[in-house]
Homo-oligomer: A and B are copies of this chain.
Amino acid sequence: MDSGHLGGDGRDRGMSEDSFNILLATDIHLGFAERDPIRGNDSFITFKEILDIGLREEVDFILLGGDLFHENKPSRQCLQKCMDILRQYVFGPKPIEFEFLSDPEEIFKTAAVKTVNYEDENLNIGMPIFSIHGNHDDPAGLGQFCSLDLLSTAALVNYFGKIESLKEIHVRPLLFRKGEISLALFGLSAIKDDRLHRLFSESKVTFMRPQEDKESWFNLLVLHQNRVAHGPKNHIPESFLPKFMNLVFWGHEHECLVKEEYNQLQDFYVSQPGSSVATSLVPGEMKQKAVGILRLHKNKVFEIEEVPLKTVRPLIIGNLSVTGLSEDTSEEEISDLIAEEINNLIEMSKNKVTGHPDQPTLPLVRLNIEYELESQMISTTLFGRRFQDLVANPSDILKFKKVLPGKQSKE
């Protein structure tokens, strides 16, 4: 591989004029906690922010890495809100400055409308979206459709990378050209990790690299699989992926590691934007969330600008050990002790208030508590009521974890 990589913040506007600019975002999980009166709208708010960033940065297109929806069968309200937002953002007068060189009939073989939406002469698309599906929004049911099929048919999203056979996978790239920049975009929508792992092991995954001017293409792969090992076969090691890739856009992992990391062995970079909404209260979700703007220059030079998301609800996680408390400590004393800690966390969460007018500021707070004896526990429900109006998740602030005497974990 011979792609170059630019350091710095990539904000040299002189340079980006000639660049192919793609917003990278993933795991937006629309509809997460939809029925929660406090958090129900969070995923939609940040989706809007992401699209706002796309408009502001005048990207050529938006590339999503799967899990646009949290539920395989989103509620009608969720679909409605999603389409409402998309309709506000994807249409517009901005001219499309890049060409689509692949055969759309081939790439969009399984779609109802076998074209990229911006080439439909009845539609004025200003900011196209391309997306693969994730494990949360994969095809299912009668006819094996997924929510992205609906969005594709409604001309709101260009859905690609649908897997046609589970025995052998041929990934055909979407070929784009903008000025002197050629981009081959390979999409591999989510399938079960162990299955994909086996297919890779058996050399049954083929990437159909463009042969003409073979070396001129910037090869970008987007996939949605476990990157972190959870057992020997239910993740995809980076070493499985072809070395001719220049950049791998990794979806599914919720931790934000959007700045490209170089894999020396494979000689490619990996960018993992992470989710835009915390779907679980774990440290990986607590990090600053961001999307990436991939700016691709000629000669396969690129940089990724990390754009922090400012509408994400503050999340603070703390740890506390109560193993030292003697058996005659009253529930009230323990409760007060914990409450003090929660108050500290709430205080800390204020550093995460960005001033963005749409950010929900009532924080998500989680305290992981290690205990040894039943007497060291308190009722989480009763406790939560003390923080009813102070946190977004009063019912699950506390998580008790029993440790064996002397085995207290270090974090």
Interface residues of A (CB under 8 A from B): 34-35, 73, 75-77, 79-80, 83-84, 87, 91-93, 112-113, 120-125, 141-143, 145-147, 149-150, 153-156
B84 touches A113 (CB 8 A): yes
B77 touches A141 (CB 8 A): yes
**What 9 pairs across the A-B complex have the smallest Cβ distances?**
A122-B124, A91-B122, A77-B143, A84-B112, A154-B154, A77-B142, A83-B153, A76-B145, A80-B145
B142 touches A76 (CB 8 A): yes
A77–B112 Cα distance when bound, in Å, is: 11
A172–B28 Cα distance when bound, in Å, is: 39
A122 to chain B, nearest CB (A): 4
Q: Which residue of chain B has the shortest Cβ distance to A141 in the bound complex?
A: B76
16 CB < 8 A contacts A-B:
A34-B142, A76-B143, A76-B147, A77-B143, A80-B145, A80-B150, A80-B153, A83-B112, A83-B153, A87-B113, A91-B120, A91-B122, A93-B122, A121-B124, A123-B123, A154-B156
B87 touches A142 (CB 8 A): no
A35 touches B142 (CB 8 A): yes
A143 touches B87 (CB 8 A): no
B87 touches A154 (CB 8 A): yes
Contacts of A35 on B, CB cut-off 8 Å? 142
Contacts of A147 on B, CB cut-off 8 Å? 76
Contacts of A113 on B, CB cut-off 8 Å? 84, 87
A149–B77 Cα distance when bound, in Å, is: 9
A125–B113 Cα distance when bound, in Å, is: 17
A87 touches B155 (CB 8 A): yes
Contact for A83 among B84, B92, B141, B150, CB less than 8 A: B150
A80 touches B112 (CB 8 A): yes
A153 touches B84 (CB 8 A): yes
A122 touches B92 (CB 8 A): yes
Contacts of A155 on B, CB cut-off 8 Å? 87, 154
A353 to chain B, nearest CB (A): 28
Q: Which residue of chain B has the shortest Cβ distance to A154 in the bound complex?
A: B154
B73 touches A149 (CB 8 A): no
